Amino acid sequence: MTDTLLTVRDLSLAVAHNHRKVVKAVSFDIAPGEIFGIVGESGSGKTLATRALISLLPPAIKVTGGSVLYKGRDVLAMKNRELRSLRGAEIGVVFQEPMTSLNPSMTIGRQLEEGLILHTKASPEERRARILDMLKRVGIRDPEGALTAYPHEFSGGMRQRIMLASVMLLKPALLIADEPTTALDAVIQRDVMELMVELTRAEGTAVLLISHDLPMVARYTSRIVVMEQGAIVEQGRTEDLLEAPQHAYTKKLLSSLPFRGEVRAIDMAKAPMVSARDIVVDYAGRKSLLRKGKAKRALHGVSIDIHEGEVVALVGGSGSGKTTLGRTIAGLVKESGGEIRFQGRARDADWTDYRLNCQMVFQDPYSSLDPRMTILALVEEALRLVPDLDAAAKRKRALETLEEVGLGADYAERYPHELSGGQRQRVAIARAIARRPRFLIADEPVSALDVTVRAQVLDLFSDLQRRYGFSCLFISHDLGVVEQVADRVVVMQDGRIIEQGDRDTIFDSPKEAYTRRLLSAIPALDQNERGGVTLKWRLEN
């Protein structure tokens, strides 16, 4: 056996109908058992390049040059028959979306068995034993029961474990993991990654890990390739690349990582701007003909204060109730108990005032803007109900606000679909601040954005927050971002607040085990003078 498992030389891909190059002369090697990373933002060609390794390109993309050698055999020249015996058995793939990568109408047992039937000669009993063993290894609590269960009965993290089990059952020599944990929340992300590393190490499987998340890739890989616009800009040993980046783009990626923001003085003695007391929210259960289903309690009496000019981060895993709390305060969800006060008065006493002064930025810039309205109309609409402004003044304010978020007048007449994700989120922010609200609720405002765009939007947000001094409830599962923008951090789990305190206290000396688990998923960053960073991973205990 040679000492490289996979050799990629000058791989080039182009769009078939207009010959636009999407991957440009990409070369790298992967050694047996190595964990190798490809990092890049959306549009960098990282996914297409790896699809080419197993000849799974979409029909619109054609290989225009280069070679892919797997154990000395040219993958690009293989016939379909050969490819089929290669895929799965030799090279396994774990995709990003655990919700759609398992067939929803097949039981887990049948799906796991498929690969074994196709690629091995194992008897049914043997197959069953191997599947049960693998399910146990990936941490499925009831492997016997899982065999006859369907994918929808499992959470995202569990599905990704099952996906991993189905791939690792065949003991492939190479595992391609394309954004395997991006759809999962931080804690589960780390669990799945640890499991992947443990399993592949035990089987001697090499891993090609593809992600936009540089710290995550750096944590597990020995070597990294950085891609930008279809080309490799830099590659090398992980530590070298992080600590002494050579290429400007790598430096930009590293400096776009969220670093801890400065400590700001917040007047905590004054009465809070927003005060929520003992909020209880129940979601009605499924109703049947004869009885009302049992209500599900999403929030168990939660209290939170936000002071003037303060950015309070609400963090927690999925299902922790952080989004529900934000939506309840915004008035989108009706609370079943508790009271919300705004500037010292009951919120419900004066909705007009509250609506004028409380705005929200949503997570998904693709669905939070009406596709049939122009950018200017979207921002102007936010001013519709503002008193004491005539039409001309509203237009002027809307244009000014667009200017402030970095979108000049030539964007005014465009439609949302003509804008990138980052630009759309700028529009969403413009719409929220056009009214000069006293209080802003931002629900995962940067989660859908690329690393460098995220950094720009966060800078914009901080600038505006300093300029207008609004208070903000910043909901996020990404503690890195929180570390950069928050003054105070509130940690939620299972519909309860389990810990809160100022940012430095929470990040440096967390008390609760769950907070420590959350923190162990993100690194502490130290920037050095060469534009590189050192990652320090916090211990769970």
CB of 368 to another protein, least distance (A): 4
Per DSSP, 87 falls in state B
Q: Does 369 bind another protein (CB under 8 A)?
A: yes
Is there a contact between 48 and 55 (Cβ–Cβ < 8 Å)? Answer: no
Q: Does 364 bind another protein (CB under 8 A)?
A: yes
Is there a contact between 491 and 313 (Cβ–Cβ < 8 Å)? Answer: no
CB of 372 to another protein, least distance (A): 5
Pick the closer one to another protein by CB: 135 or 382.
382
Pick the closer one to another protein by CB: 171 or 431.
431
What stretch of H or E contains 26? strand 21-30
Q: Within positions 31 to 60, which residues make up the interface with another protein, using CB under 8 A?
A: none
Stretch that binds another protein, among 108-116, 194-202, 370-378, 498-506 (CB under 8 A): 370-378
Q: Does 399 bind another protein (CB under 8 A)?
A: no
Stretch that binds another protein, among 110-118, 127-135, 411-419, 515-523 (CB under 8 A): 411-419
Q: Does 348 bind another protein (CB under 8 A)?
A: no
Is there a contact between 402 and 412 (Cβ–Cβ < 8 Å)? Answer: yes
Of 111, 256, 320, 363, the one binding another protein by CB under 8 A: 363
DSSP calls for 280-326 = EEEEPPPP-SSSPPPPEEEEEEEEEEE-TT-EEEEE--TTSSHHHHH
How many CA atoms lie within 13 Å of 202's alpha carbon, on the beta-carbon side? Answer: 12
Pick the closer one to another protein by CB: 18 or 123.
18
d(CA 259, CA 215): 12
Stretch that binds another protein, among 126-134, 260-268, 367-375, 482-490 (CB under 8 A): 367-375
Q: Does 351 bind another protein (CB under 8 A)?
A: yes
Q: Does 256 bind another protein (CB under 8 A)?
A: no
What are the C-alpha distances in Å from 354 to residues 18, 351, 369, 429, 439? Answer: 52, 5, 22, 18, 9
**Degrees to nearest 5, angle at CA 427 with 447 and 461:** 60
Q: Does 332 bind another protein (CB under 8 A)?
A: yes
Pick the closer one to another protein by CB: 249 or 411.
411
Pick the closer one to another protein by CB: 427 or 455.
427
Q: Is 245 left (phi over 0), alpha (psi -120 to 50) or beta?
A: beta
Stretch that binds another protein, among 87-95, 144-152, 360-368, 482-490 (CB under 8 A): 360-368
User: Residues near 266 by Cβ (< 8 Å), separated by ≥ 6?
Assistant: 307, 308, 309, 310, 487, 488
Stretch that binds another protein, among 271-279, 412-420, 487-495, 528-536 (CB under 8 A): 412-420
Q: What are the phi and psi torsion angles at 489 (to 5°)?
A: -125, 135
Of 220, 170, 240, which Cα lies nearest the Cα of 36? 220
Of 2, 85, 148, 367, the one binding another protein by CB under 8 A: 367
Of 68, 358, 433, 533, the one binding another protein by CB under 8 A: 358
- Both tokens of 406, joined, read 């970095």
Q: Does 415 bind another protein (CB under 8 A)?
A: yes
Pick the closer one to another protein by CB: 192 or 419.
419
Interface pattern 417-436 for another protein (x via CB under 8 A): xx---------x--x-----
Pick the closer one to another protein by CB: 79 or 384.
384
Bridge partners, 501 (sequence order)? 489
* # chain residues binding another protein, by CB under 8 A: 28
In 3-state terms, the chain is what percent helix, strand and coil (to 5)?
Answer: 40, 25, 35
Pick the closer one to another protein by CB: 147 or 448.
448
Q: What are the phi and psi torsion angles at 491 (to 5°)?
A: -100, 130
CB of 274 to another protein, least distance (A): 14
Q: Does 111 bind another protein (CB under 8 A)?
A: no
Q: Does 402 bind another protein (CB under 8 A)?
A: no
Q: Does 352 bind another protein (CB under 8 A)?
A: yes
Count of other CB atoms within 10 angstroms of residue 204? 10
Is there a contact between 518 and 478 (Cβ–Cβ < 8 Å)? Answer: no
Q: Does 221 bind another protein (CB under 8 A)?
A: no
- Residue 239: what residue type? E
Pick the closer one to another protein by CB: 12 or 357.
357
Q: Within positions 272 to 331, which residues make up the interface with another protein, using CB under 8 A?
A: 330-331
User: Residues near 521 by Cβ (< 8 Å), separated by ≥ 6?
Assistant: 186, 187, 189, 190, 479
Q: Does 372 bind another protein (CB under 8 A)?
A: yes
Pick the closer one to another protein by CB: 78 or 99.
99
Of 96, 181, 368, 423, the one binding another protein by CB under 8 A: 368
d(CA 204, CA 222): 15
Q: Does 387 bind another protein (CB under 8 A)?
A: no
Pick the closer one to another protein by CB: 387 or 408.
387
Q: Which residue in the block uniquely carries the two structure tokens 């206290």?
A: 505
Pick the closer one to another protein by CB: 307 or 431.
431
In terms of C-beta density within 10 A (0-12 exposed, 13-18 middle, 19 or more buried), how is residue 395 classed?
middle
In terms of C-beta density within 10 A (0-12 exposed, 13-18 middle, 19 or more buried), how is residue 409 classed?
exposed
| Sheet strands (E) in 31-90 | 35-39, 61-70, 73-74
CB of 322 to another protein, least distance (A): 16
Footprint of another protein (CB under 8 A): 330-332, 351-352, 355-356, 358-360, 362-364, 367-372, 381-382, 384-385, 415, 417-418, 428, 431
